[in-house]
Amino acid sequence: MRDNVSSVKLPNGLTIILKEIHTIPLISQWVWYRVGSKDDLPGQTGSSHWVEHMQFKGTKNFSGQELDHAISKEGGIWNAMTYLDWTTYFETMPANKIDIALKLEADRMANSLFDNKETEAERKVIISEREGNENSPLYRLNTAVQNASFECHPYKHEAIGKLEDLKTITREQLYKHYHNNYVPNNAIIALAGDFESQKILKRLEDLYTGISPSSNSTFTGITEPAPQKEKYVKVEGSGEMSYLQISYRAPKANNKDFFALTLLDSLLSGPSSLNIFGTDHISNKTSRLYQNLVEKDLAVSISGGLQATIDPYLYTFFIIIHPASSPKKNLAAFDNQIGKLFNETVKTDEVKRSLKQAKAMFAYGSENITNQAFWLGYANMFADYKWYLNYIKELENVTKWDIQHVAQEYLTQERRVIGIYKPTQRRS
């Protein structure tokens, strides 16, 4: 895969990555900050997510309503999201209207107000969101499993934060988190679309050169010990269905085993997309777990997922239990399939099919202007852009022996947490 990409680092540390694509008159801008939920201080979990919300509440130059109106009236779309390792903001606009997006992102890097009334109003919104999540069995189950999967690494916390922290975090703490992390030397601006690189680079230099860098950094790095034993967590609540979650400690994205595990994921539960905008779906009916759990009426559905992260995170399976079955039976069938991977070499045809599906899923998540701009910055959050460029090649180099190796290495019982959700009362 070849790409005409240019990259510049300004004196204040801001990295700008540009990719000209002249097929359609659109430009997508993504601004990435190397701050996520892992960077939330103890007692202040949820800070990164809350700061993301406050970035839509206005600056000295744009009120919150003006920001939204400025984008929407020009036919643009915009959004933001906070994850474990990063926070990102994006706008996709008609090419001749992109300047408003360039200006607003530069403005809110340095000039967001964090008005007291807006901060308190957003506290209510986020607490309501957090409490609403508790109505979802899968959310409650995943939260419990994620927490049990780590002893000390902040990956154990959900991005939205703990309820007790959300009630006590102050405006000053949020503003300090913003001030420390929303700085040019902690950011990457990625643009893809219909522009001339030199012209748009000059515009970005004009907008950002006056913003000073900072030496502040929240996350100092924590080494999580290797798992030593299998753990079980049980969650009960209202609902109609039982759920089973199985999460293994996985390698970080910048580890060669990640690619073999990606093909293993395709083989076991069907291909999954690393791109949050990869909405196209490929059927998982040819996967081993679908054929041995869903088709045999043990499960209603099965899905798997591997996340690209800076530090080792989780490789997770979600199973919705068939009403006529049980979590115990599903776990036994699941373990039977894992055991086969340990003891039997994967067939070449199965590897080819898994590779074809994984490549197709990757292509679906890379095909439009917004996705292209996404990858320019996203890959740099855990590796670099070469990781994206070499992704297909790395998958093609995976052998059936590599797949068996990563199964034996990562899918051991001592590396996993098993979570079971059981309904205690039926909804009327």
- Render pLDDT for 111-123 as a digit per residue (tens, 0 to 9): 999 999 999 999 9
**Residues 169 and 274 reside in one and the same domain:** no
Q: State the chain's mean pLDDT as an integer.
A: 94
**Residues 107 and 254 reside in one and the same domain:** no
**Residues 386 and 420 reside in one and the same domain:** yes
**Residues 110 and 60 reside in one and the same domain:** yes
Question: What is the rounded average pLDDT of the residues 255-265?
Answer: 97
**Residues 140 and 181 reside in one and the same domain:** yes
The answer to whether residue 188 sits within a structural domain is yes
Q: How far is residue 126 from each of residues 38, 47, 91, measured CA to CA in Å? A: 18, 11, 23
104 with 62: CB under 8 angstroms?
Answer: yes
CATH of residue 255? 3.30.830.10
Write the pLDDT tens digit of every residue in 99-111.
999 999 999 999 9
The answer to whether residue 381 sits within a structural domain is yes
Structural domain containing residue 115:
5-208
The answer to whether residue 216 sits within a structural domain is no
The answer to whether residue 221 sits within a structural domain is no
Alpha helix positions (H), 170-215: 171-181, 197-208
Strands laid side by side in the 26-33 sheet: 5-9, 15-20, 187-193, 26-33, 87-94, 77-82
Query: What percentage of the chain has pLDDT greater than the value 70?
Result: 96
Question: What is the rounded average pLDDT of the residues 203-216?
Answer: 93
Number of domains in the chain: 2
Angle subtended at Cα 234 by Cα 237 and Cα 287, rounded to the nearest 5 degrees: 100
> Which tokens hold the place of 414?
């001592």
The answer to whether residue 215 sits within a structural domain is no
Write the pLDDT tens digit of every residue in 353-402.
999 999 998 888 888 999 999 999 999 999 999 999 999 999 999 999 99
**Residues 163 and 288 reside in one and the same domain:** no
pTM reported for the whole predicted model: 0.94
| Residue 320, helix vs strand vs coil | strand
The answer to whether residue 220 sits within a structural domain is no
**Residues 193 and 307 reside in one and the same domain:** no
**Residues 191 and 263 reside in one and the same domain:** no
The answer to whether residue 222 sits within a structural domain is no
The answer to whether residue 275 sits within a structural domain is yes
**Residues 323 and 179 reside in one and the same domain:** no
**Residues 145 and 244 reside in one and the same domain:** no
**Residues 275 and 407 reside in one and the same domain:** yes
What is the pLDDT, as a whole number, of residue 365? 80
**Residues 149 and 199 reside in one and the same domain:** yes
